[in-house]
Amino acid sequence: MNTEGLSRQIRLAQAHALSVRSVSKTYPGASVPAVDAISFDVHPGEVFALLGPSGCGKTTTLRLIAGLEMPDSGEVAFAGKVVSGPTVRIPPDKRDLGMVFQSGAVWPHMTVAENVAFPLKVRGVKRTQIKERVAGVLDLVGLPRHENRLSAQLSGGQQQRVALARALVTEPSTLLLDEPFSSLDSVLRAQMRHDVKQLQKRLQITMVFVTHDQHEALSLSDRIAVMRDGALQQIGSPQQLYERPTTEFVRDFLGKAVLLKGMNNGSNEGEAQVTLDGAPSTVLHARSTLPCGKRCVVALRPEDIIIRPRSNAAPPAQAVLAGFVIDVRFTGRRIEYRVDVADQGTIEVHGDRHDRVGLGQPVWLELHTDGCTVWPESV
């Protein structure tokens, strides 16, 4: 590589808060790698999520970033400085990062102040500075005047705030979170998500977090890396992954997908023209490289389908299917319908709870196809 090319790579590496390059990890006795040659970059001040089902390798990846595990191959670098590699192993406490674990891992026999101050004491910070910084970070996470309370006396949400304060008290450049809200109830989880997001915006700290919760990843992240079986499936913004998945796994894992069967009867500059089974007058247009004359499925989200009573009214002008409601489920903020459609099977649709359609009623399903994607039909 010439000098100019090398200089450019160095500049790019330094522009990233975190770089993971071809990192692999296989545990002793395992037949397959937990992490399989993954690579990605995290930008300064970015919230980056590692999302996937249990056992996909996301927590192992976070531990490799933290230095709690060493990769079998590949490199991890912070701001261009390699901290894990074939000949480099910088310990976790020298990586300028904070970490919050799933359980919070606060010490119940210590006061809040003692828990938060511990990383500073290990680093030999002066007592007067410790007191000032502990008070400041507790105020930051919404726990002012809690210094002298025992951690065991706090609620689950408060204990997670203590863990967050302890991770932030050293003023790290990067914050790592391993499913930090999974042990909280739904109300506390929503509140902590909001508070952490606001805190991250205020501090402009780089944040990498692990979750299996799609809603959590979508609502918190600037970008998401979806993982499966130790490998990366797709990286992108929440909207990109939700509306333009590049693999069937991402399509089906990130939210729900409604799959409509049909035939691609025409392709024009990367656009498919799909005639749906059971609705020969309904043709959907979507970006696709699928060859003309091939069976396919069109994927939409349930919220992209509007359900309307059929009665004697003419069908809407939009792309439409006819069906009958076979199940109605009230979930609070919406109603979930299961609709039987000829030649398509059962389709799930989400409707407005203020405009309910009855069980057994004939309906039109109006399809909004702006975000639909086309896939080969599975054999």
Rounded CA-CA distance 238/70 in Å is 30
Cβ pair 111, 166 in contact under 8 A: no
| 14: pLDDT strictly greater than 60 | no
pLDDT tens-place string over residues 194-226:
888 888 888 899 999 999 999 999 999 999 999
CA distances from 331 to 94, 180, 254, 337 (A): 48, 26, 20, 11
Task: Choose the weakest-confidence range: 184-193, 228-237, 350-359.
Answer: 184-193
Domains in the chain, please, with CATH? 10-252 (3.40.50.300), 257-376 (2.40.50.140)
Q: Mean pLDDT, to the nearest integer, of 238-252?
A: 94
Residue 294 DSSP class: -
pLDDT tens-place string over residues 270-297:
788 899 998 887 888 888 888 888 899 9
The reported pTM is 0.87
| 10: pLDDT strictly greater than 90 | no
pLDDT tens-place string over residues 89-107:
999 989 999 999 876 678 8
Share of the chain above pLDDT 70, in %: 93
Phi, psi of 267 (to 5 degrees): -130, 130
pLDDT band per the 50, 70, 90 thresholds, residue 7: very low
Which amino acid, residue 191? Q
Cβ pair 288, 336 in contact under 8 A: no
pLDDT band per the 50, 70, 90 thresholds, residue 1: very low
pLDDT: which is higher, 210 or 7: 210
pLDDT tens-place string over residues 135-157:
998 988 888 888 888 888 888 88
**Terminal Cα-to-Cα distance of the chain (whole angstroms):** 46
Tokens (6 digits) for 7: 């200089």
CB count within 10 Å of CB 188 equals 16
Q: Rounded mean pLDDT of the chain?
A: 88
Task: Choose the weakest-confidence range: 117-131, 158-172, 176-190.
Answer: 176-190
Kindly tell me the sign of the dihedral angle through the C-alpha atoms of 229, 233, 237, 240.
negative
Rounded CA-CA distance 148/350 in Å is 49
| 42: pLDDT strictly greater than 90 | yes
Looking at residue 314, what is its pLDDT? Answer: 65
pLDDT tens-place string over residues 336-348:
999 999 999 999 9
Cβ pair 175, 145 in contact under 8 A: no
Q: Mean pLDDT, to the nearest integer, of 180-188?
A: 80
